[in-house]
């Protein structure tokens, strides 16, 4: 009997060890929601999120930039500014292959301001907005980062996290192929809602949501508050124009476009995570996208484990 018990314990132990090993090998994505640009009164709002992100120790960072390979999304999202800038820089930038290779294989702490400027222009010439912005930050503030909060996630969270992890590359994941359609549908939705009086509900919900942010903001908890599932569900409701009591075709179609954007972002993330064999990737994206991207990642890439701050 004792032998059987010992054998059973050994089997359970081996099974548990095997299950843990399998779990450790599974690729993972951790999504953090942001507030984009924040007002001066809550200028330090990104500090708690930076601490959470740093503790996670990611091996890759995904930010809300359009991949350079998606020319249509890039044109629709940055056709007025970054695309012309990129073309202008590309026309005069002279790529030194040996220098580029050396720098991209060096620690950022060993690079000079001139090196940062060179890589900034290199990435701009490739239409890589994420890394153009990252190296522009490094050129301006160095590896110690800006002393004063810049009040948006690109500087206060993404760049500082990348520096802390000594990363030389930030991955892009945005999807903007229906950006114009979403804006047009948004305008039609509001116009229809003004005609039938439903816009009053939208104004009321927006005011209520603003008031709910005041106490967390005053207490320094705005970042964590924005990552609560309950809060993010309100963001989804606003972004999908679900405020109406009666059907409205432009509002409903705008919601569908929003869902397709989340699906596109999830595909951009999942494909790159698998292609690059990344173990612990962190996604830094507007909080209104978090739940949609999470659902789409779990649907499209069931082999990838997905986590958020407010785990239930």
**How sure is the predictor about 266, in pLDDT bands with cuts at 50, 70 and 90?**
very high
**How sure is the predictor about 58, in pLDDT bands with cuts at 50, 70 and 90?**
very high
Residue 292 tokens, joined: 């949609």
Strands (DSSP E) found in 190-311: 280-286, 305-308
Of the candidates 293, 207, 218, the one whose C-alpha atom is nearest the C-alpha of residue 34 is 293
67 phi and psi, to 5 degrees?
Answer: -60, 140
Asked whether the whole model's pTM tops 0.95, one would answer no
- The upper half-sphere exposure of residue 240, i.e. CA atoms within 13 Å in the direction of its Cβ, equals 19
Given a cut of 90, is residue 19 above it in pLDDT? no
Please report, to the nearest 10 degrees, the dihedral formed by the alpha carbons of residues 162, 163, 164, 166 taken in order: 90
Per-residue model confidence (pLDDT) at position 24: 63
Given a cut of 70, is residue 131 above it in pLDDT? yes
Query: What is the C-alpha separation between 207 and 185, in angstroms, rounded?
Result: 22
Given a cut of 80, is residue 170 above it in pLDDT? yes
Other beta carbons within 10 Å of 249: 11
For 80-116, write each residue's pLDDT tens digit: 999 999 999 999 999 999 999 999 999 999 999 999 9
Per-residue model confidence (pLDDT) at position 6: 59
Q: Which helix (H) or strand (E) holds 32?
A: strand 28-34
Per-residue model confidence (pLDDT) at position 11: 46
Kindly report the average pLDDT of the chain as a whole number.
93
For 280-291, write each residue's pLDDT tens digit: 999 999 999 999
Of the candidates 235, 234, 237, 240, the one whose C-alpha atom is nearest the C-alpha of residue 257 is 240
Given a cut of 70, is residue 181 above it in pLDDT? yes
Quick one: average pLDDT of 228-232? Answer: 97
Residue entry with tokens 């999830």? 266
Please report, to the nearest 10 degrees, the dihedral formed by the alpha carbons of residues 52, 63, 155, 208 taken in order: -70
Query: What is the C-alpha separation between 227 and 131, in angstroms, rounded?
Result: 26
């Amino acid at each position: 009997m004792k032998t059987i018990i010992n054998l059973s314990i050994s089997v359970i132990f081996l099974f548990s060890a095997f299950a843990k090993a399998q779990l450790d090998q599974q690729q993972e994505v951790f999504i953090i929601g942001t507030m984009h640009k924040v007002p001066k009164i809550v200028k330090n709002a990104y500090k708690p999120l930076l601490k959470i992100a740093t503790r996670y120790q990611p091996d890759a960072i995904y930010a809300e930039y359009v991949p350079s390979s998606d020319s249509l999304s890039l044109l629709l999202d940055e056709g007025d500014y970054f695309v012309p800038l990129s073309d202008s820089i590309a026309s005069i930038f002279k790529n030194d292959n040996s220098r580029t290779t050396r720098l991209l294989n060096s620690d950022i702490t060993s690079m000079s301001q001139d090196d940062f400027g060179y890589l900034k222009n290199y990435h701009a010439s490739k239409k890589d907005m994420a890394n153009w912005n990252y190296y522009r930050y490094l050129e301006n503030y160095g590896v110690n980062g800006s002393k004063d909060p810049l009040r948006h996630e690109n500087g206060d969270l993404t760049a500082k996290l990348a520096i802390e992890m000594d990363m030389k590359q930030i991955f892009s994941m945005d999807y903007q192929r229906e950006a114009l359609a979403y804006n047009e549908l948004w305008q039609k939705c509001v116009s229809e809602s003004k005609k039938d009086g439903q816009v009053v509900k939208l104004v009321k919900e927006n005011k209520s949501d603003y008031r709910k942010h005041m106490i967390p903001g005053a207490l320094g908890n705005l970042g964590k508050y924005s990552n609560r599932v309950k809060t993010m569900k309100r963001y989804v409701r606003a972004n999908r124009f679900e405020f109406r009591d009666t059907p409205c075709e432009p509002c409903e179609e705008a919601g569908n476009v929003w869902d397709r954007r989340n699906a596109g972002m999830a595909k951009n993330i999942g494909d790159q995570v698998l292609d690059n064999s990344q173990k612990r990737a962190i996604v830094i994206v507007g909080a209104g996208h978090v739940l949609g991207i999470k659902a789409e990642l779990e649907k499209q890439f069931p082999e990838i484990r997905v986590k958020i701050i407010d785990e239930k």
